[in-house]
Amino acid sequence: MVPLPYLGIWRRDWIDRYDEHGAARREYRPAIWFQSRSYHVDLRIDPALAHLSMTASADVFAQSQIAFAGSTVVRTNEGREICQWHPRIAYPRLTGETDAGFMHFTNATHLMEQGLDGRYQESWQRLNDDEEAIHCLRFVSADASQHETFLMLGETYFALGSNYPEASSHPLPIYAWGERCENNWIVHESLAPWHVGKLVDIDPALQDAATTTTPRLSAVDCTLPLMPNKYWRLLEVD
């Protein structure tokens, strides 16, 4: 399992990319990373696409946005911690590239990541209270086993990572994150900008499953936020 200091929600505030001469180019492109004991959901949203609607070509979104979900492994090599992400699903596609970096905590709420090849350095800030537990509920489609969904859930925040397409008319998969808003939850960012600002419901039974020490896996199919017409079966609570 991933060490406890990593568990939570991390917001990237900058990334330095280094060229072959060692010169750095700093970017402030937003990224968010939800981490449970074993799994992650990661979104890299392009704010320049915020005005687009469902009439926009799907190819436009694939040019500048990335999202993925899967398992995470942390190991030590010569006294340095290496965090490696192993996506099970990804947008716009899975690749064979290694996604890993040297990690260093400056304090409990600030994490630095350096590329194994030294070509980049990222600064991550903890978004949630470090006492707030983040759990991952992993689902498979009730009628198509190739469709998976990772639901990250805490007291205040949630994230969805799924390879289920938005609709037959728009093949964008469902990746989004948001925050509790009284009795509902509100979407803050999504691959699909038309979801931003939506109020969504999360079944209280799923919230209970995320906070129960020994949850029972439900045999009853359920629906998930932003996918009201699709039924899912809970496989695992992490």
Contact 44, 144 (CB under 8 A): no
Tell me what pLDDT residue 219 has: 60
**Please, what is the average pLDDT of the chain?**
92
Residue-wise pLDDT tens digits, 181-196: 888 899 999 999 999 9
Residue 114 clears pLDDT 90, i.e. is over it:
yes
CA torsion, points 121, 32, 215, 73, in degrees to nearest 10? -20
In angstroms, rounded to a whole number, what is the distance separating the alpha carbons of residues 61 and 59?
5
- What's the rounded mean pLDDT across residues 116-123? 95
Contact 112, 104 (CB under 8 A): yes
How would you class 198 by CB atoms within 10 Å of its CB: exposed for 0-12, middle for 13-18, buried for 19 or more?
Answer: middle
As a whole-number percent, the residues of the chain with pLDDT over 90 amount to 74
Residue 64 clears pLDDT 60, i.e. is over it:
yes
- What's the rounded mean pLDDT across residues 37-59? 94
Q: How confident is the model at residue 221 (pLDDT cuts 50, 70, 90)?
A: confident
Residue 24 clears pLDDT 60, i.e. is over it:
yes
Tell me what pLDDT residue 169 has: 64
- What's the rounded mean pLDDT across residues 76-97? 94
For the full predicted model, state whether its pTM sits above 0.85.
Answer: yes
Q: Domains along the chain?
A: 4-126 (2.40.128.280), 135-237 (no CATH)
Provide the terminal-to-terminal Cα distance of the chain, rounded to the nearest Å. 10
Query: Which of the 8 DSSP states describes residue 203?
Result: -
Q: How confident is the model at residue 168 (pLDDT cuts 50, 70, 90)?
A: low
Query: Which of the 8 DSSP states describes residue 118?
Result: S
Q: How confident is the model at residue 217 (pLDDT cuts 50, 70, 90)?
A: low
- The backbone torsions φ and ψ at residue 204, rounded to the nearest 5 degrees and listed phi first, read -55, -30
- What's the rounded mean pLDDT across residues 124-150? 92
In angstroms, rounded to a whole number, what is the distance separating the alpha carbons of residues 135 and 158?
9
